[in-house]
Amino acid sequence: MYLSLQEVLRPDRLESCLELLADDAAFLAGGTHINATCPSHITRLIDLQALPLRSFLRAEGQLTMGALVRLSALVERELHPGHSALLQAASAERNLPIRNQSTIGGRIARQRADGRLYTALLALNAQVEVARAAAEPRWLPLADLAGTGLSDAIVTAVAVPAAQVSAYSQFSQTAVDAPMTDAAVARSVDGKWRIASGGHGADASGVVSLDAAAALL
């Protein structure tokens, strides 16, 4: 299958991007997903690269990132030890061209259980800022967005709360395959543990929270 493009637009305002969306249009962040799937009904691409969504801020242990921050930036940045799961999940993407092009917002918008970073963000209780046409952007827990559909929305930012410790691991057949199964764990500053899982299986993505006492049993 090939894209049947008639237009590629690159507005520099969020509102303009949302106004241009139609049934035959799609948002383009890093492009790794749409280049791989080539949906034939898409005739218009709305390129988000001109939007100012590349901020990378750390304050009081919380990490807030613009949606156009690439996976390679997570590998290159010095992250707080509590956010190690993000570094490990991004590093697990061994395909370097994809790591250098794929964006955080794009990975979230895909809502794929085998997205590596998605699993790490679930464990870290990430909050996501989502913008839709004719509405103010809203911050929502990533866990609440699962299965809601983001085709009419733009993920603009991700906030990762402070954590004491976190880790990510996966099992894949080869170094470049998407994980057959993966998991991430994080302990928040109040001692609560969150465990998230993903993978190729149906409904594989999920998260469970445990208080400190239960985690020790």
User: Dmax over Cα atoms in the chain, in whole Å?
Assistant: 59
For residue 160, pLDDT beyond 70:
yes
Angle subtended at Cα 191 by Cα 186 and Cα 197, rounded to the nearest 5 degrees = 25
Q: Which one is predicted more confidently, 202 or 122?
A: 122
Angle subtended at Cα 96 by Cα 175 and Cα 57, rounded to the nearest 5 degrees = 115
Task: Classify residue 186 as left (phi > 0), alpha (psi -120 to 50) or beta.
Answer: beta
pTM: 0.84
Which has the minimum average pLDDT: 81-85, 146-150, 194-198? 146-150
- Please state, in angstroms and rounded to a whole number, the distance separating the CA atoms of residues 111 and 127: 14
Query: With bands split at pLDDT 50, 70 and 90, how would you rate the model's confidence at 158?
Result: very high
Query: With bands split at pLDDT 50, 70 and 90, how would you rate the model's confidence at 75?
Result: very high
Task: Classify residue 180 as left (phi > 0), alpha (psi -120 to 50) or beta.
Answer: alpha
For residue 38, pLDDT beyond 80:
no
pLDDT at 209: 64
For residue 113, pLDDT beyond 80:
no
pLDDT digit string (tens) for 40-69?
667 788 888 899 999 999 998 999 999 999
pLDDT at 1: 47
Beta carbons within 10 angstroms of residue 91's beta carbon: 15
pLDDT at 164: 95
For residue 72, pLDDT beyond 90:
yes
pLDDT at 96: 85
Query: With bands split at pLDDT 50, 70 and 90, how would you rate the model's confidence at 27?
Result: confident
